[in-house]
Structure 1
Amino acid sequence: MDLPQRLKAALEGTGFAGVVLVGRSDSLVWQQGYGDADRQRHVRNGPATAFDVGSLTKQFTAAAILALEQDGRLTVQDSLGMYFPSAPADKRGITLHQLLTHTAGLREYLGRDERWLSQPDFLRQTLRSKLVFAPGSAYQYSNVGYSLLAVVIERVSSLPYERYLHQRLFQPAGLTATGYRLTTWPDSTVAVGYVRERRWGKPMTKGWAPDGPSWNLRGNGGMLSTAQDMWRWHQALAGGRILAPATQAKLYQPYVAKKPGGAISYGYGWSVYESKRGTRVVSHGGSNDIFFVHYVRYLDPRDGGTVLFVATNQSPDVARKVSQVLMGVLFPD
């Protein structure tokens, strides 16, 4: 039984609804849709189906910050005081590095994703909020921090956040179906989210403005993308088409342990850890509790340039479980 057959067999009987993609080196090994993108209209999931990829958005935000650094327009050691002169004293010294690594001491979120929050209101609430800990002293995952990075991107680039990502990252990488509002997806290609048997709907119908979602979500989550585009993103990164090797390496440095003494660290928009073989792996999940995705990239050449992307439009979360099953097939050690 060849590898695609073994991967397919591993999902038989799981009831999984979504899409799976596996690549090695420069070749797609397997891509397959399961179940319905829209049950009422009997539209099937497939590699071109657009899913809400949740916090995978953070890797795009991190790459955008590093692109600006590579282009000489900022450094990750810049402080918030440089971009927000009115920031209070407790936040003025927070660095972009601390925002990228979730060590700035900012709270996790300000409100629900669909609750509308303008950029001015987001900044006002963020800069007035009480820090959870002294900047640089601990790790706590913060969606707020990545939305703040999106504001920095706008101020430095003089472009809307999504526009800058399209021009500097997505178009050079060949991504054609990733973003908030700048991409026009045919209605039939966007997956509908389901909570068990109840239809939740499509992300862009949940309080989005004409230019994108609330600043509770913008920059930290909520982008739509496809398995095909996530494969192209992997290829663009692996091929050095977006960031120079030395710049890109900053994405994958294990800067801070996610748990004290733990084996998983956080880089810039990526979780970083070692496989059982002692090779470096980077991954990230994404979820709004309706859609769930898991994206895993094996960076060591000994692992054959393997990449795995799993997305589902059904709740509860089965994406990570499916990923673990498939990783066991890919690396049966």
Structure 2
Amino acid sequence: MDIRNKIHEYMNEYIKLWPFSGIVTVVKSGEVIFNENYGMANIEHSVPMTEKTKFRISSLTKAITCMGIMILKERGMLDTSDDIRTIFHDYPELDEGITIHHLMTHTSGLSSNFSVADPYLMLGKRLCTHEEVFDTFKDMPLEFEPGKGWSYCYFGYYLLGVIIERVSGQSFREFIKENIFKPLEMKDSGLDEYIEILPNKASGYYASDENLICCDIDTKSTFSAGAIYSTAEDMLLWDKALYTEKLVSKKTMDEIFTPYKYNYGYGWIIDRNFNRKRARHSGGGSWGNGYNHQFQRYIDDEITILVLSNYGFSSSFNINENIGKIIFNEEYSMPSRPEAFELDLNIYDSYTGVYEENGAKIEVKRDKENLYFVKEFAKQGCKWKMPIYPISENKFHHMWIDQEYSIGKDDSGELRFNGIKKIS
């Protein structure tokens, strides 16, 4: 059986067991060897998924933002070693010693602690101004000295977009359009605006109890950290360009794909998988976001695996990983549903209670034989009920989506739900 048929077999079995909606594409040396659409772009209006479907690509935006910075660097308009206070004279609150390089590699020490403000501050249907975003984060203390630690930082990538605007004299939207999308003929990509009528735009969905729910969000205020929309076709044009010098020189491209602290480059995680160099990034996947993407590029092999999904709960990483195993002739397992474990409900009852950290609240509950937890963002009033069943004494699986959860004690003996501490 050839690779294409093996991937078909894997995906056909997967969608028999688990809900999935999106596009799966595999490219080898510039040739598309697998490309299939699954599910609906919009369930309410029965709109099918196609290669023209526009997805909010969320954090896949970050690599495009970094490319914009590197284009300006090649033009001599900035340097990645520049202290950001030389650009933000009007914000003396920003700490000294933070460079553009630190922003791109998540080593700035800047905080993105949304629990201080609002976990969905950037996803509400109100466009936040730069000033409002700055006012939210600028006075927060550094988490660590710039360059000495690593923490995934939304605010740092927001600053990169503002830097592009201040240095280029153009809006972020226009600069990316003129310098990346137009040269690459990415005609179906842009900066998402909630009020704009955008043909072929996918709606995002999540899960609550036994139902799919529509995620009523706006990503425009995530700006250069996550507000770009694109299609599978356009993302392949982007992928193809990254093997060329069409946007920047090979030297600059090598800099982009150099792993720094925690293997993070400029908008990419650079690691090794199957003993091969890989550049990858996820997009979406947070609670209620409605999208879950995985873009993986095996650079030396010129193989790209792209999974775009408008189900925020999709296991896009696992799908991508198993397709990689098929392609590289590694051992893989066909999709399966974990068997139920006979758990003593007295043990489960010891797990019930409230777990809370960083603005997220989870309540583990039981109704007779029905086990579930409720995920809540208190400041938004958003709740998701997640029915679960035990697959071991401290591991649980969602009843109908492909997600696993753990409840257990940490080294100090405190109970944690997927890392979140129990408080009562």
TM-score w.r.t. length of structure 1:
0.88
Structure 2: how far apart are the matches of 1:159 and 1:88?
23
Structure 2: how far apart are the matches of 1:23 and 1:91?
43
Asked if the contact 1:291/1:312 (under 8 Å) is kept, the reply is yes
Residues 109/32 of structure 1: CA separation in 2 closer, same or farther (3 Å cut): farther
Structure 2: how far apart are the matches of 1:226 and 1:94?
34
Instruction: From the CA coordinates, give the structure whose radius of gyration is larger.
Output: 2
- Give structure 1 regions of 4+ aligned residues with deviation exceeding 6 angstroms: none
Matched, 1:274 2:272: yes
Instruction: Spell out, residue by residue over 1:204-232, the C-alpha distance to the aligned partner (whole angstroms, 9 max, x if none).
Output: xx357xxxx12xx1110132111111100
Structure 2: how far apart are the matches of 1:222 and 1:121?
17
Alignment of 1:83-98 (within 5 A): 83-88=87-92, 91-98=95-102
Structure 2 counterpart of 1:260: none
- Specify the code of the residue in structure 1 equivalent to 2:158: S
Alignment of 1:1-333 (within 5 A): 1-15=1-15, 16-88=20-92, 91-110=95-114, 111=118, 112=120, 113-115=122-124, 116=126, 117-181=128-192, 187=198, 189-196=200-207, 197-201=211-215, 206-207=217-218, 213-214=220-221, 217-257=222-262, 265-277=263-275, 279-287=276-284, 288=286, 289-300=289-300, 303=301, 305-333=302-330
Structure 1: how far apart are the matches of 2:84 and 2:91?
7
Structure 1: how far apart are the matches of 2:144 and 2:9?
47
Instruction: Spell out, residue by residue over 1:76-131, the C-alpha distance to the aligned partner (whole angstroms, 9 max, x if none).
Output: 00011110124336613210000000000011354422244211122233322211
Structure 1 counterpart of 2:397: none
Unaligned residue ranges in structure 1 (runs of 5+): 258-264
Asked if the contact 2:192/2:228 (under 8 Å) is kept, the reply is no
- Specify the code of the residue in structure 2 equivalent to 1:87: Y
Structure 1: how far apart are the matches of 2:176 and 2:133?
21
SS in structure 1 opposite 2:32?
strand
Instruction: Spell out, residue by residue over 1:155-176, the C-alpha distance to the aligned partner (whole angstroms, 9 max, x if none).
Output: 0000010110011111111211
Residues 192/207 of structure 1: CA separation in 2 closer, same or farther (3 Å cut): closer
| Identical-pair percentage | 27
Q: CA RMSD in A?
A: 2.1
SS in structure 2 opposite 1:60?
helix
Asked if the contact 1:109/1:144 (under 8 Å) is kept, the reply is no
Structure 1 counterpart of 2:358: none
- Specify the code of the residue in structure 2 equivalent to 1:194: Y
Count of paired positions: 313
Q: Which of 1 and 2 has higher RCO (CA within 8 Å, sep 6+)?
A: 1
Asked if the contact 2:55/2:229 (under 8 Å) is kept, the reply is yes
Structure 2: how far apart are the matches of 1:82 and 1:160?
19
Asked if the contact 1:195/1:290 (under 8 Å) is kept, the reply is yes
Unaligned residue ranges in structure 2 (runs of 5+): 331-424
